[in-house]
A and B are shown apart, each in its own frame.
Chain A
Amino acid sequence: MSTTMVAALNAALRDSLRADANVHVLGEDVGALGGVFRVTDGLAAEFGRQRCLDTPLAEAGILGTAVGMAMYGLRPVVEMQFDAFAYPAFEQVFSHVAKMRNRTGGQMGLPITIRVPYGGGVGGVEHHSDSSEAYYAHTPGLHVVTPATVADSYGLLRSAIASDDPVVFLEPKRLYWSAVDFSPAEVSTAQVPPIGRAMVRRPGTSATLLTYGPSLPVCLEAAAAARSEGWDLAVVDLRSLVPFDDETVCTAVRATGRAVVVHEAAGFAGVGAEIAARVTERCFHHLAAPVLRVTGYDIPYPPPMLEKHHLPSVDRILDAVARLQWEQ
């Protein structure tokens, strides 16, 4: 059975709503329309308008309302329509969602899932293509999760909704329509991946690509192309930026001695900078070359006709691999 990421996310929401009466979905256009990406398709029809609530168009209000609902014991799942449309809710995210458990000495946790379609590569207008993960990952108190595969999008979203901590769930919108042979019904609870574990998507011996979300398929493509250059590249899918899986990442880097971090977001002060620093601090004596980064340029997201120059490509990744100080 062929399943898209959108369908898998939809199944995860549906199964979560069925499994727990406290789960509520709310956001803009999530009801009759099923969300602008159709991730909430059919939920209002099955569970009623109250459990899949069309809200006023106000992101801070949506999240602030979700905070109050969570205080009362519900598990709200909030949809932010686009990456850049989530910015009005930042004060609620940073000042309350991330801090309430700590502020109250553990007495008031907020089990809120904030779904954010993110990233470019879809020909979107400005404000529809941002990679906003570093803002969230820099804020203690949040978990930041991003699936890169159809199976993970189901499993990680189930885990996010079940988590007692707030989770910013970043959905790579250019993978929304990627389909694989997979049925959500086949995923048993035991197979639902825990939050905080990276996964080696491709073993390799020459160098290790560290990536997540929308850049995973690009890295896998680069690894396939690298074979003709004589390189056997490992590819690690981080899946969770917070908590960060130092163990899996460092094991994979030590095994090859070379690493390249790949993400779409601007490189300066980005998540890749943190990863490169962590790897260098922990694996220095195993490294044959500095950890390199292939990222979006340090520019506002470009217009659709120019975005191909901005996004990490197979060629840019292979060029970085070539610069890993190989012995002649």
Chain B
Amino acid sequence: MTVLDDSTAPGLVGPPNSHGPRRDPAPLLPDPEPVRILGTPAAKMFDTELQRELYRRLVLGRRFNQQATTLTRQGRLAVYPASTGQEACQITASMVLREQDWLFPSYRDTLAVVARGVRPVDALTLMRGHAHSGYDPYEHRIAPLSTPLATQASHAVGLAHAARLRAAADPETAEELVALALVGDGGTSEGDFHEALNFAGVLGAPVVFLVQNNGYAISVPLASQSAAPTLAHKAVGYGIVGRLVDGNDALAMHSVLSAAVEHARSGRGPVLVEAITYRLDAHTNADDATRYRSAAEVDAWRARDPLTLLERHLRAAGLLDDAGVAATARAAEDLATEIRAQFDNPPDPDPDSLFTHVYATPTSQLREQAAELAARRDADAYADAAEDEDEDEAR
């Protein structure tokens, strides 16, 4: 008999159940296999208009990724971390949100930002290099793209928690909002990911964490990143629901993610969704993916391209024909043309803006430094003008 078995001994085991299991972990566990709808009987039950809409958005999303990558080759974007191959995740992440909801993207989630209504050129501002962010976070209810990994996850928790606090204090203006935080597989190793999920669980905040597991954190494969059964299983440790989904199955993505968002909205707590997907392009245009993964592996995933899977299904179901494909392709080219036009005029950022928004009111030190820079620019402009004049005279 161990000490703990001796429940009659007062003081040895503490109050009943104070430290024991507090809830049944079974309902939190993800399915052993990723949820799939394409190729299953469930596909027949899926709203046909929504299927066509998903196809249209995926095609446009793919074209966006291609166009942005082209812009880097032309030097019109400094860098672009493409989400090629992850479009089903990106598109559904924006589609399942309502107007009052908030999106917390990472640097690879530009497409999700565009899909929620931000102009491409504004979503790509960080990569273009004339400002750190190009859209009003309050207009679109999208936090700025977060470059530090997983740090935006706890922001999502805090915002969702704050919305509930305010709703409790003032039910008249209550917003039943959900915050959706986007994280990659590498990001799940960060301490911030752990802390965000733990806070979400404890606070019961209406948050959904979508982990796009694309297999690599730049070059490091998942096996070197985590020994967890799946990343979705991590949810159980925080007392929140874990869901595993095929991230290249657009119908499954939409279904699982919208269920997760409505689960959170209804006050039943946060959800962690792991989407199994693949980054078909390199980490960024500056990366060389051949150093860490084989062509055969990439080819195998190309065969599971979310666009291909959806198009094949829609054609087989009689929901899409050659004319439909061609019309969608034209819409995608129109988008590409529009994006190129948005990039026609090179940005001309105002150096004065360097000092304007460091604080609500600039400090005296920043006012001095702004004046110094302005004076230097005036002097340079004067010197340039004088030089031009000399050249004119020489002619």
What residues make up the interface of A, taking CB atoms closer than 8 Å to B? 21, 24, 50, 55-56, 58, 60-61, 63-74, 76, 88, 91-92, 95-96, 99-109, 140-141, 143, 163-165, 196, 242-244, 246-247
Q: Could you say which of B156-164, B307-315, B373-381 contacts chain A?
A: B156-164
A103–B360 CB distance below 8 A? no
| Contact present for B363 and A61 (CB under 8 Å) | no
CB distance from A105 to the nearest CB of B (A): 6
Contact (Cβ within 8 A) B363 A196: yes
Q: A143-B359, A243-B364 are in contact. Are A65 and B151 (CB under 8 A)?
A: no
Which of A21, A24, A71, A104 contacts B155, CB < 8 Å?
Answer: A71
What's the Cα separation between A5 and B129 when bound, in Å? 47
6 further A-B pairs in the complex, CB-CB below 8 A; given A64-B157, A104-B144, A108-B137: A60-B192, A68-B155, A68-B162, A99-B132, A104-B357, A243-B364
Contacts A50-B165, A61-B196, A66-B158: A56 and B358 contacting too (C-beta < 8 A)? no
20 A-B pairs within 8 Å (CB atoms) are namely A24-B165, A55-B199, A60-B154, A61-B198, A64-B157, A65-B157, A66-B158, A68-B161, A68-B179, A69-B158, A72-B158, A73-B166, A88-B191, A91-B151, A104-B132, A104-B144, A105-B357, A108-B138, A163-B360, A243-B363
Q: By the criterion CB–CB under 8 Å, are B364 and A72 in contact?
A: no
Determine if B199 and A58 form an interchain contact, defined as CB atoms under 8 angstroms apart.
yes
A95: contacting residue among B143, B148, B156, B160, CB under 8 A: B148
With contact pairs A56-B198, A71-B143, A103-B144 given, residues A164 and B360 touching in the complex (Cβ less than 8 Å): yes
Select which of B158, B168, B360 is within 8 A of A71 by beta carbon: B158
- Residue ID in chain B nearest A141 by CB atoms: B358
In the assembled complex, the Cα of A141 lies from the Cα of B361 at a distance in Å of 11
Q: Are A165 and B162 in contact (CB under 8 A)?
A: no
Name the distance in Å between A141's Cβ and chain B's nearest Cβ: 6
Q: How far is the CB of B139 from chain A (nearest CB, A)?
A: 9
- Please indicate the chain B residues that have their CB under 8 angstroms from the CB of A68 in the complex: 154-162, 179
Q: Please give me the residue from chain B that is nearest to A242 by CB atom.
A: B363
Q: Closest residue to B164 on the A side, CB-wise? A: A50
8 Å CB contact of A243 from B162, B357, B365 = B365
Residue B169 lies at the interface, judged by CB distance under 8 Å to chain A: yes
Bits for B131-148, please: 1 = Cβ < 8 Å to A, else 0: 111001110000110101
> How many angstroms between the C-alpha atoms of A88 and B195 in the bound complex?
11
Residues of B within 8 A of A106 (CB): 356-357
Bound-state Cα–Cα, A44 to B191, Å:
29
Question: In the assembled complex, how far is the CB of residue A20 from the closest CB belonging to chain B, in whole angstroms?
Answer: 12
Q: Report which residue of A63, A68, A73, A244 has the largest number of chain B beta carbons within 10 angstroms of its beta carbon.
A: A68
Q: Report the bound CA distance from A60 to B166 in whole Å.
A: 23
**Most chain B Cβ neighbours within 10 Å, of A95, A108, A196:** A108
- Asked if A64 meets B162 with Cβ closer than 8 Å, knowing A100-B144, A143-B359, A164-B360, the reply is no
B158 touches A67 (CB 8 A): yes
Inside 8 A of A108's CB, which chain B residues have their CB?
Answer: 137-138, 144
**Across the interface, which residues of A come within 8 angstroms of B162, CB to CB?**
68-69, 71-74
Chain A nearest CB from B90 CB (Å) reads 22
B residues with CB within 8 A of A: 131-133, 136-138, 143-144, 146, 148, 151, 153-163, 165-166, 168-169, 179, 191-192, 195-196, 198-199, 202-203, 353, 356-360, 363-365
Contacts of B132 in A (CB 8 A): 99, 102-104
B158 and A65 within 8 A (CB): yes
Contact between A71 and B159, CB atoms less than 8 A apart: yes
Contact of A64 with B365 in the complex, beta carbons under 8 Å: no
User: In the complex, A63→B152 CA distance in Å?
Assistant: 11
* Chain B contacts for A246, CB-based, 8 A: 364-365
B380 to chain A, nearest CB (A): 24
Contact across chains for A107 and B137 when beta carbons are under 8 A apart: yes
Q: Complex formed: what's the CA distance from A96 to B192 in Å?
A: 13
Top 10 A-B pairs, shortest CB-CB distance = A68-B158, A64-B154, A61-B195, A72-B162, A68-B159, A65-B158, A243-B363, A106-B357, A68-B155, A69-B162
> Bound state CA distance, A95 and B195, in angstroms?
17
Contact residues in A for B151 (Cβ distance below 8 Å): 60, 64, 91-92, 95-96
A140 to B354, CA, bound (A): 12
Nearest residue (CB) in A for B154 is A64
Residues of A within 8 A of B153 (CB): 64
A58 near B198 with CB under 8 A, answer: yes
Bound complex: CA of A65 vs CA of B365, how far in Å? Answer: 31
Residues of the B chain whose Cβ atoms lie less than 8 Å from the Cβ of A109: 360
Residues of B within 8 A of A103 (CB): 132-133, 144
Question: Which of chain B's residues have a CB closer than 8 A to the CB of A63?
Answer: 154
List A contacts of B133 (CB < 8 A). 103-105
Shortest Cβ distance from A95 into B: residue: B148
A99, B357: Cα distance in complex, Å: 9
Question: Are B195 and A60 touching (Cβ within 8 A)?
Answer: yes
**Residues of the B chain whose Cβ atoms lie less than 8 Å from the Cβ of A72:** 158-159, 162-163, 166
Whole-angstrom CA separation of A82 from B58 in the bound complex: 50
A64 adjacent to B131 (CB under 8 Å): no
User: Taking CB as reference atom, which chain B residue is nearest A106?
Assistant: B357
Residues of A within 8 A of B353 (CB): 105
**In whole angstroms, how far apart are the Cα atoms of A63 and B151 in the complex?**
10
Contacting residues, chain A, for B143 (C-beta < 8 A): 71
